[in-house]
Chains A and B, each alone.
Chain A
Amino acid sequence: MVKTLKQILIIFILSSVVGLIVNTVSPKGIPLIMDMSKYSTEQSDKLKEDFVNNPYDTANHKEPLMQNPRYNKEGFIEPQNIKLDFAKLLYDKKALFFDARKPEDYNAGHIKGAINISYEVFHKKTKEEQTEMMKGYNKNGIIVCYCKGGECEMSIDLAYDIAKLGFTSMNIYLGGYKEWEDAGYPVDK
């Protein structure tokens, strides 16, 4: 038994050392603690306040949604996470909603008026093909991406992919279709 435990310990130490070394030297290395800002909806209330104080044409406005947009290292404006109340406000102001789920999920029910841009399909396309797909949409228009909600991340990934094409007001509604439907807001089935 002691022998087994000793062996287990050796394998764990070996794996930890090699794993940490590879993670440090690899260009694809990640921080030891996950960056949770990606899932934070903290700024949603502030964004909503700004939006209410400075109402503008949701579909045609010329400036990014945020006063001081978060340009990240890669040079695009980071999408913002928004909560249900702000998502509904943008919806009422006729913002564009993108459903990032698979077509079959979209067909089973989606936010009324949302356009299906399946992340799985979109992500596999080349940048040129993605640009072509997004050709008809205003780069400064407010766009809200959503998926199922909860553990679903396709909305985040899709919003980032589109933001990388130069779209300035990408928003992620993390509550997703489930929260929206539960709230009794408009859906299409």
Chain B
Amino acid sequence: MKDFLSNKYIQIGLRIIIGAIFIYASVGKLFNAEAFAKAIKNYDMLPFATLNILAIILPYVEFFTGVFLVLGIYKKGSSAIAILSLVMFLIALTSAYARGLDINCGCFSLETTATKSDILTRIFEDILMLIGILIVYIFGEKKKSEPEEIKENQIIKGEI
């Protein structure tokens, strides 16, 4: 299983899919901070003073994380940020759903047409992506474990 998950092609595939989703999700927000600030405000979770600055910076964090994941640059850092973001989204979405907030999630588009069932779909997608990115983070840079190294050395020495 470990070998399968750390397989080069599985890793590249996951990074490209999740990275592309991050880029896609960020594009609509990159030049529309006002609408995104409103979307964050609707969650009613953060102090007002932080809303605009987050709306200015977060879309770029999302964008660069996506780009780096796709290109395979800073794999550990970008997948760690992706994990943090997805956990954050998950908390926000679940709490909005639990509180029965009838809001647009502000996930992919900033249109005001989303309904509660959309939030459930987003939660489901979020969990899937979280599993994917955890696989990238944990199995991305496969290091040889000690017993394996010993075994290899033994093979070289002809002991086994």
Question: Among B42, B56, B57, B76, which residue has its beta carbon within 8 angstroms of that of A7?
Answer: B76
Please name all residues of chain B whose beta carbon is closer than 8 Å to the beta carbon of A120 when the two chains form the complex.
Answer: 112-113
Question: Among B56, B77, B101, B112, which residue has its beta carbon within 8 angstroms of that of A23?
Answer: B56
Query: Is B80 in contact with chain A by the CB < 8 A criterion?
Result: yes
Please name all residues of chain B whose beta carbon is closer than 8 Å to the beta carbon of A151 when the two chains form the complex.
Answer: 41-44, 101, 103
The count of chain A contact residues (Cβ–Cβ below 8 Å) is: 34
Please name all residues of chain B whose beta carbon is closer than 8 Å to the beta carbon of A30 when the two chains form the complex.
Answer: 33-34, 37, 52, 55-56
Query: Is A26 in contact with chain B by the CB < 8 A criterion?
Result: yes
Contact residues on B (Cβ < 8 Å of other chain), bracket: 35 or more
Q: In angstroms, how far is the closest chain A Cβ from the Cβ of B88?
A: 14
Contact A18 B48 (CB under 8 A): no
**Distance of A29 Cα from B56 Cα, bound (Å):** 9
Question: Among B34, B56, B61, which residue has its beta carbon within 8 angstroms of that of A11?
Answer: B61
Chain B: which residue is nearest A35 at the CB level? B52
**Distance of A26 Cα from B49 Cα, bound (Å):** 21
Contact with B along A1-15 (1 / 0, CB 8 A): 001111110111011
Q: Supply 22 A–B pairs (Cβ within 8 Å), ascending by A.
A: A4-B80, A5-B77, A7-B77, A8-B80, A11-B64, A11-B78, A12-B61, A15-B61, A19-B57, A19-B59, A19-B60, A20-B56, A28-B34, A30-B37, A30-B52, A30-B56, A32-B56, A33-B52, A34-B37, A34-B41, A151-B101, A151-B103
